[in-house]
Amino acid sequence: MDYKHRVDNLIKLMKKLDVDAAILGDRANVRYFTGMRFNAASFSILFISKDGDVVLLTAVLDYNRVKRDCWIKDVRKFPEDDPNYLKPLKELLYGKNIKRIGVEFSSVTMEKEILIKEVTNAELVNIQDDLLKFRMIKDKEEIEIIKTAAKIVEKAMIKAIDSIREGIKEYEVSAIAQDVIMREGAEGLSFEPFVMSGENAWLPQRFSSDKELRKGELVLFDLGCVYNGYCSDITRTFSLGSLSSEQKNIFRVAYEAQQRAITAIRPGILARDIDKVARDYIAHNGYGKYFPHLTGHGLGLSIHEMPILDSNSDIVLEAGMVITIEPGIYVEGVGAARVEDMVLVTDSGYELLTNAPRELI
Amino acid sequence: MDYKHRVDNLIKLMKKLDVDAAILGDRANVRYFTGMRFNAASFSILFISKDGDVVLLTAVLDYNRVKRDCWIKDVRKFPEDDPNYLKPLKELLYGKNIKRIGVEFSSVTMEKEILIKEVTNAELVNIQDDLLKFRMIKDKEEIEIIKTAAKIVEKAMIKAIDSIREGIKEYEVSAIAQDVIMREGAEGLSFEPFVMSGENAWLPQRFSSDKELRKGELVLFDLGCVYNGYCSDITRTFSLGSLSSEQKNIFRVAYEAQQRAITAIRPGILARDIDKVARDYIAHNGYGKYFPHLTGHGLGLSIHEMPILDSNSDIVLEAGMVITIEPGIYVEGVGAARVEDMVLVTDSGYELLTNAPRELI
């Protein structure tokens, strides 16, 4: 990855926004610019000035590794449990004419805000959306990694569905899939996966419980992994034994809505128009009020990122975006259905990144 | 669990702090007062007024389940992706004389701070440390759950260590343990586990990589799970084949330091004095500067919580606290060693909650 190029783009943006420095702490952003993986319990701060200073602050325990592996040469450390870990920023800011600092409002806590204000009087400006826009279009290397993440999760989903039998518990199905993910060398899960069966599906209860799978239930399984920093995400709906005609209809409508939304994907179309394809089809079939969430979302270094595909999203799809399409229907007392796939927007239209069988079993 | 009693205690505290209401979002705190498990990707807001109003705001998709399962009867919902999800707070605050609101500065982001300030002009007061103090002493029910979490992670560690052989990859060892954890019905991992071998251990590199385990290396494995909301945490150091006398000595000193710190645990002792037992022993053996972190930490609904056992921690240990003891030594070019166990502080001293074999293999 050309991290230096990414930093150069950020500096250009900072000049445009009249921002003198950026202090970044969101782990996806830090990884985007540094390439460094940190344990989820650890954190780092990336400092970039519009004059081209690039400094990475890490916890003492990460320092040696970062010095060895990171392209950034100016690495500084803070004690692991120091409540005042931003002290090293003081020397970086000292004597510079810094009036406006870009930070991520969605990741800076009030605790950290106080620490930042202890080292600078500069105005804090929210640049999170600008950073998300950088990350929205994936380059070739990123797309290859995402494809691997998608293949791993697809394999895990197939293995889990192959293993279902009457009486198996929701969390046991989830465990089978997670084991495939970890043995394939993924870094971890991209979110807390959930198998939801019967009432748990239509309620819904978004975690895997010790409820046993029974015949005649619709079962949803939403799963994702992180591979080389990048997320994948897939949902399948399946069942044991025979279903009522209404359960079958819910599945058919959710699946058809998904397929129609996917085939509408092409560069130049508005995200909200993709959402509309799915939402209108579901409404036309009488389930409009049973579809309570978005049609899809971008994913990359984060599991939810731009573009969001919802009824009010005015982002125009472009080649290089990676999104999910996942309309769902949840009917009290009957069942729920959702089929979710990852889709790459291409110059000519789209490419499906997940291809595990979508039919009810 | 007596959630109502916990809320009553909070209201007493609010009166003492002259705080008129609390708006809580930290998931461990929300679970502590509500008992509700939420998917890690989801969040909720708990509102408590000093007059006794208790209201839980949840995402639309969690609403039906919370209405069914939660002891709190006033549950309100916000749209899943609504950027202004705190709007329902406005009606809760309307017409009330609310001047000071307690929040968790470590969990309220600047983004959320802006939303809170849109619904109220009240002063925001940090009550996170007070909430952590509530959670510091575990009751009998909590201790039973934590013991189960400890047993699961112990079983996973034993299985993983039994599976090691020359050439197995770090992440494969980790995957074996994670599979045990998930099949035992844990909710998930309490942190990103790491197997670190050879250079990765002393550097250290705090994640499991595709490096293969080799003879003559010290290998650290730090692992934890979440069971019924409560965290466990264990570390073992092991090796394949024979070690140098210095590697053996590093292990011996780290292990002995841990044992001495554990046997010093009793109610009434200062946390920093436990730290001192381990730190002094390691320093006395010439490895003082190779022990760069704390001796231990409390754990419960969060993996790191009060009390912290470090050289500046003036908390007095009390019966009902659950802590880890984990001094470590990391020597460049030689190896690293750390043995970590969970310990319950009892009326008469301490009880070890993790008992997997601690010897080098």
Radius of gyration of chain B (CA): 23
Indicate whether A199 and A306 sit together in one domain. Answer: yes
Total number of domains constituting chain A? 2
The pTM is what?
0.96
pLDDT at B89 over 90: no
A219-228, A308-317, B80-89, B168-177 — which is least confidently predicted? B80-89
Name which of A124-133, B21-30, B34-43, B135-144 the model is least confident about: B34-43
Collapsing DSSP to helix, strand or coil, A295 comes out as: coil
Measured distance between the N- and C-terminal CA atoms of chain B, rounded to whole angstroms: 41
Q: Are residues A317 and A272 in the same domain?
A: yes
CA distance A319 to B70: 45
Tell me how far apart the alpha carbons of residues A308 and B31 are, in angstroms, rounded to a whole number.
29
> Is B150 in the same domain as B167?
yes
d(CA A348, CA A333): 42
Asked whether residue B60 falls in the same domain as residue B103, the answer is yes
**Among the partner residues A61, A109, A169, nearest to B206 by beta-carbon distance:** A61
Q: Are residues B226 and B171 in the same domain?
A: yes
- What distance in Å separates the CA atoms of residue A28 and residue A36, rounded to the nearest whole number? 10
CATH number at residue B73: 3.40.350.10
Out of A39, A110, A175, name the one closest to residue B108 (CB).
A110
Q: CA B254 to CA B240: how far, in whole Å?
A: 19
Alpha-carbon gap: A9 to the closest alpha carbon of chain B (Å)? 25
Q: Which two tokens stand for residue B280?
A: 């002094």
Measure in Å the smallest separation between the Cα of A49 and chain B Cα atoms: 22
- Looking at per-residue pLDDT, the higher value among A196 and B79 belongs to A196
Q: What is the pLDDT of residue A339?
A: 98
Q: Which of B341, B346, B277, B353 is nearest to B317 (CA)?
A: B346
What is residue B113's three-state secondary structure?
Answer: helix
A227 and A104 together in one domain:
no
- Nearest to residue A343, comparing CAs of A143, A194, A159, A139? A143
* pLDDT category of residue B86 using cuts at 50, 70 and 90: confident
**CB atoms A187 and B210 under 8 Å:** no
Q: Residue range B348-357: average pLDDT?
A: 96
Give me the residue from B108, B171, B179 closest to A179, CB to CB. Answer: B179
Q: What percent of chain B has pLDDT over 70?
A: 99
DSSP state of B120: -
For residue B273, tell me if it sits in a domain: yes
What's the whole-number average pLDDT of chain B?
96
Q: What is the pLDDT of residue B96?
A: 86
C-alpha span between A200 and A214 (Å, rounded): 12
Q: Which element (helix H / strand E) includes A174?
A: helix A170-183
Is B189 inside any structural domain? Answer: yes
Q: Tokens standing for A143?
A: 């797309």
Helix pair B3-17, B128-136: axis angle to 10 deg: 140
Residues B194 and B293 in one domain: yes
What's the CA gap between B8 and B12, in Å, rounded? Answer: 6
With H, G, I as helix, E, B as strand and everything else as coil, classify residue B79.
coil
List alpha helices for A25-86, DSSP H: 27-34, 60-69
A360 with A339: CB under 8 angstroms?
no
Which residues 183-212 of B are in CB contact (within 8 Å) with A?
183, 185, 187-189, 191-192, 194, 203-207, 210
Any B CB within 8 A of A42 CB = yes
Coil, strand, or helix at residue A257?
Answer: helix
Does A130 share its domain with A150? no
Nearest Cα to Cα of residue B270 among B308, B324, B307, B317: B317
pLDDT at B315: 97
pLDDT digits (tens, 9 = 90+) for A78-93: 887 676 788 888 888 8
**Cβ contacts of B183 on chain A, cutoff 8 Å:** 172, 175
Q: Report residue A68 as tokens.
A: 């060895």
DSSP per residue, B54-82: EEEEEEHHHHHHHHHH-S--EEEEE-TT-
Q: Do A109 and B114 touch (CB under 8 A)?
A: no
pLDDT one-digit tens code per residue, B156-176: 999 999 999 999 999 999 999
DSSP category for residue B167:
T
Contact B293 A60 (CB under 8 A): yes
Answer whether B96 touches A (CB < 8 Å).
Answer: no
pLDDT, position A87: 85
Decide if A41 is inside a domain: yes
Higher per-residue pLDDT: A361 or B297 = B297
Residues B174 and B256 both lie in one domain: yes
- Say if A146 falls within a structural domain: yes
Q: Do B39 and A80 touch (CB under 8 A)?
A: no
A361 in a domain, yes or no?
Answer: no
Last residue of a domain, one of A96, A114, A135: A135
Reduced to 3 states (helix: H, G, I; strand: E, B; else coil), residue B149 is helix
Q: What is the pLDDT of residues B249-285, one digit of tens each?
A: 999 999 999 999 999 999 999 999 999 999 999 999 9
Q: What is the CATH number of the domain that holds B329?
A: 3.90.230.10
Token couple for B18 = 């002259």
Q: What is the DSSP code (8-state) at residue A122?
A: P
**Cβ <8 Å between A182 and B174:** yes
Per the prediction, chain A carries an average pLDDT of 96
> What is the domain extent for residue A242?
137-352
The helix (H) or strand (E) run that includes residue A188 is strand A188-189
Is the same domain home to B113 and B196? no
- Window from A130-134, B151-155, B356-360 with minimum mean pLDDT: B356-360
- Does a structural domain hold residue A358? no
The mean pLDDT of B3-27, rounded to a whole number, is 97
Instruction: Identify whether B204 is preceded by a cis peptide bond (ω within 30 of 0).
Output: yes
> A323 with A351: CB under 8 angstroms?
no
Last residue of one domain, picked from the residues A102, A118, A135: A135
Q: pLDDT exceeding 70 applies to what percent of chain A?
A: 99
% residues pLDDT > 90 (chain B): 91
In a domain, A327, yes or no: yes
Q: Are residues A202 and A54 in the same domain?
A: no
Do residues B358 and B309 touch, judged by C-beta distance below 8 A? Answer: no
Kindly indicate the confidence band of residue B286, based on its pLDDT and cuts at 50, 70 and 90. very high
Q: In what order do the strands lie in the sheet with A225-227?
A: A188-189, A225-227, A230-231
Q: What are phi and psi of B247, to 5 degrees?
A: -60, -45
Is B357 within the bounds of a domain? no
The full length of chain B comes to 361
Residue B319 contacts by C-beta under 8 Å, 6 or more apart in sequence?
B137, B267, B345, B346, B347
With beta carbons less than 8 A apart as the criterion, state whether B11 and B135 touch.
Answer: no
Contact at CB, A171 and B182, closer than 8 angstroms: yes
* For residues A131-154, average pLDDT: 97
State residue B41's pLDDT score. 86
A360: pLDDT confidence band, cut at 50, 70 and 90? confident
Contact residues, B window 290-309, toward A, CB-based 8 Å cutoff: 292-294, 303-304, 308
**What is the average pLDDT across B177-199?**
98
Which of A175, A210, A293 is closest, CB to CB, to B80? A293
User: pLDDT exceeding 90 applies to what percent of chain A?
Assistant: 91
- What token pair was written down for B311? 């050289």
DSSP A304: S
Whether residues A110 and B110 touch (CB distance < 8 A) is answered with yes
B179:A174 CB<8 A: no
User: Are residue B104 and residue B180 in the same domain, yes or no?
Assistant: no
d(CA A27, CA A24): 8
A171 and B CB contact within 8 Å? yes
B61 vs A292: CB contact, 8 Å cut-off? yes
Bridge partners of B343? Answer: B323, B352
* Boundary of a domain, candidates A102, A135, A168: A135
